């Protein structure tokens, strides 16, 4: 059992949880993820580390409530326990020697972008963060990003309620046009990563994306997370989650992400009917 040390709500559907997991915290690195089960009947679901302390033995993650497991997690509080938690899994993001990097974090992807931007700053890269959300209320971890030694922080909202109005690809395109970037790291919904990669391809700027295919075992055994990169089959869990964004088949990724959508919707509806919170 893994005890929840702290839990808080960051925005309407986004939550943060800190869990006591000393053995996992000792080995965690930016860009890696873990798989948890909320309870002993629960499914295995992957989440990326948003923070951790090797000394104090905790890991932290940020999640969006989208279905049954994340609904269950959103009701957990300090003192509750997760049935199990396995990690770190996947490869750490490559940092250092990248020069001027634009880290793009969209939606809950901002939580994954945070430790990556922090590790890049610590490794001597010159980092500008482009932080995007649909609306101001969905922007997360702004203060944490502001505390990093960044070259710049650009806030973008679809509806213009905070920062620049529009999509993250607009400031990204400007940065590319000004030849002010050597590498781009895009983390967020598949559609956002697809358009970030399309934007940077035009300017020949190397672009890494952090993919989130459906995962089951997280160890390269089940094949659930297969993605096509440069015409080759790769497993998101052991070959990734980071890949060259210019080579990823995003249409296939998005279509595979939708495979269980009907089952997920009916499971969520049933769970929500029985839940007193009425989300």
Residues that bind ligand FES (CB under 6 A): 215-218, 220-225, 235-237
Examine residue 28 and tell whether it contacts ligand FAD (CB under 6 A).
no
User: Do 245 and 193 meet the contact criterion of CB atoms below 8 Å apart?
Assistant: yes
Structure tokens at 84: 């199990």
Q: Which is nearer to ligand FES, 94 or 238 (CB)?
A: 238
Q: Pick the closest to residue 187 from 274, 119, 255, 88 (CA basis).
A: 119
Residues 58-87 as x/- pattern, contact with ligand FAD by CB under 6 A: ---xxxx-xxxxx-----------------
Q: How far is the CB of 215 from ligand FES (least distance, A)?
A: 4
Instruction: Lay out the site mask for ligand FAD across 236-275 (x = CB under 6 A, - = otherwise).
Output: -----x---------------x---x--x---x-------
Nearest CA to 46 among 69, 24, 77?
A: 69
Minimum distance between the CB of residue 54 and ligand FES, rounded to whole angstroms?
26
Residues 168, 132: contact at Cβ < 8 Å? yes
Which C-beta is closer to ligand FAD: that of 181 or that of 234? 234
Size of the site for ligand FAD (CB under 6 A): 27
- DSSP labels, 95-159: -SS--EEEEEEETTHHHHHHHHHHHHHHTT-EEEEEEEESSGGG---HHHHHTS--SEEEEEETT
Applying CB under 6 A, the residues found at the interface with ligand FAD are: 33, 45-48, 61-64, 66-70, 108, 111-112, 212-216, 241, 257, 261, 264, 268
């Amino acid at each position: 059992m893994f005890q929840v040390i702290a839990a808080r709500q960051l925005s309407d559907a986004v939550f943060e949880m800190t869990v006591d997991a000393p053995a996992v915290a000792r080995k965690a690195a930016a860009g890696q993820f873990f798989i948890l089960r909320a309870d002993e009947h629960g499914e295995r679901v992957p989440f990326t580390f948003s923070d951790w302390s090797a000394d104090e033995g905790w890991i932290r993650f940020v999640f969006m409530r989208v279905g049954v497991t994340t609904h269950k997690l959103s009701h957990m509080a300090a003192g509750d326990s997760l049935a199990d938690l396995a990690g770190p899994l996947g490869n750490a993001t490559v940092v250092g020697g990248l020069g001027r990097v634009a880290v793009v974090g969209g939606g809950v992807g901002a939580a994954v972008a945070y430790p990556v931007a922090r590790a890049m700053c610590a490794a001597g890269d010159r980092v500008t963060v482009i932080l995007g959300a649909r609306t101001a209320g969905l922007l997360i971890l702004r203060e944490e990003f502001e505390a990093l030694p960044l070259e710049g922080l650009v806030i973008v909202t679809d509806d213009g309620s905070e920062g620049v109005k529009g999509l993250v690809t607009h400031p990204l395109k400007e940065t590319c046009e000004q030849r002010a970037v050597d590498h781009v790291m895009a983390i967020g919904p598949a559609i956002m990563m697809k358009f970030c990669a399309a934007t940077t391809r035009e300017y020949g700027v190397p672009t890494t994306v952090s993919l989130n295919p459906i995962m089951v075992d997280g160890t390269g055994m089940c094949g659930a997370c297969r993605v096509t990169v440069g015409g080759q089959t790769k497993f998101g869990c052991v070959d990734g989650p980071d890949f060259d964004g210019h080579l990823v088949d995003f249409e296939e990724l998005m279509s595979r992400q939708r495979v269980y959508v009907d089952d997920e919707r009916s499971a969520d509806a049933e769970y929500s009917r029985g839940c007193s919170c009425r989300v």
